Amino acid sequence: MSATESPTVAAGSSTAPADSRPVLLEVQGLAVSFGGIKAVAGLSFSVHEGEIVSVIGPNGAGKTSAFNCISGFYRPNEGTVVFDGEPVTRRKPSYITTRGMARTFQNVRLFSDMTVLENVKTGMHSHLGQNVFDAMLHTPRYKRSEAQCTEDARGWLDFVGFRADDELLVTQLPYGEQRRVEIARALATQPKLLLLDEPGAGLNHNEKNELMGLIRKIRDLGVSIVLIEHDMGLVMEISERVVVLNYGKEIADGTPEQVKNNPVVIAAYLGEEEE
C-alpha cells in the first residue's frame, strides 16, 4: 500500500462479513502484572481482515496495557499474540512494525524537534531502498529514494486531511492537527493493522466526525483497525465489534447493539455489584 493508491479500492478491502474473512490478529490468554496488580488477566479476542474493533472499559480496565502487550512495548507474563499468522508475543516493537502493525498513543508522541514532514518520513525508514553508504555519499539511489519518501509523506498527510504547513515544527500545531500527523506517520509504515489509542481524546465535535470518516477511509484501504475509545457515541457509530474490559478481564465481545444492552457491561460502567 502506498499513498498513491486509491483510498476506496485497495488490496485486502472487502464487503464480506468480518467473521467470514481471515483472522489477522489472535490474542489468547494475555496477562500482565505490575507489582502484584493484574493489569490484564486472561484476555482473548481476535480481529479479522478489514474489521473495525473497539476496546472499551472503565478507567483502569487494562486497555492500554493490552495494546502495549500486543504491540511489543510490554512483555506479557502469560498468553500469546499471533499477528498475520506469526507469533509475535515477545518480539520488539520495531520488528512488529515491520511485519505490518502500527499504533498511535493516548498522549501524542511526535518528535518535537522535527517538522511535520520529517515526522511522517520517520515512519518510512524500514521501507526505503537505500543503505548507510547511499546516505553518506548522497548517491543517485539516495536522492531518488528521498524524493519518493517526501512525495509519499505528503500523500499521507493529504490522505488524513492535514491542513497546515508541513514544514512547521509539530509543536506549532493545534492538538487536532498533531493527531492527524501521528496517524499519517503510522500509515506511512504501510500497516495491515492500525491500533489507535483514544484517537478522539481532546477533539471537538466536528473533529470527531472527521475522525470517523478518516477511520472508514483507512479501513477501505484494507487496513484492520482496533481502537481504544471513551466516547461511546464514536464507538457505537464506527465499530463493527466491541470488546469490553473490566479489571483486566474481557466481560463482553459483540456488536455495538449487543454490548450496549449487556447488563454486565452496564453494571461495570455504573459501578454496580453483580448479583
CA distances (Å), origin 188, targets 13, 45, 65, 97, 118: 18, 27, 24, 11, 12
pLDDT band at 17 (very low <50, low <70, confident <90, very high): low
Mean per-residue pLDDT for 121-141? 68
For the ranges 143-152, 159-168, 252-261, the lowest mean pLDDT is seen at 143-152
pLDDT band at 124 (very low <50, low <70, confident <90, very high): confident
pLDDT mean across residues, the chain: 88
pLDDT at 210 over 90: yes
* pLDDT at res. 15: 56
Percent of the chain at pLDDT > 70 equals: 85
State the Cα–Cα distance between residues 136 and 214, nearest whole angstrom.
Answer: 38
Whose CA is closest to 79, among 131, 113, 30?
Answer: 30
State the Cα–Cα distance between residues 141 and 247, nearest whole angstrom.
Answer: 52
> pLDDT tens for residues 132-157?
556 666 677 667 777 888 999 999 99
State the Cα–Cα distance between residues 244 and 43, nearest whole angstrom.
Answer: 10
Q: What's 21-100+191-275's CATH class?
A: alpha beta
Determine how β-strand 78-83 pairs with β-strand 193-197: unpaired
pLDDT at 93 over 70: yes
Mean per-residue pLDDT for 195-218? 94
CA distances (Å), origin 59, targets 30, 85, 230: 19, 32, 9
The full set of domain ranges for the chain reads: 21-100+191-275, 112-190
pLDDT at 245 over 60: yes
> pLDDT tens for residues 28-82?
999 999 988 899 999 999 999 999 999 999 888 999 999 999 999 999 999 999 9
Q: How far does CA 219 lie from the centroid of its chain?
A: 11
What pTM does this model have?
A: 0.86
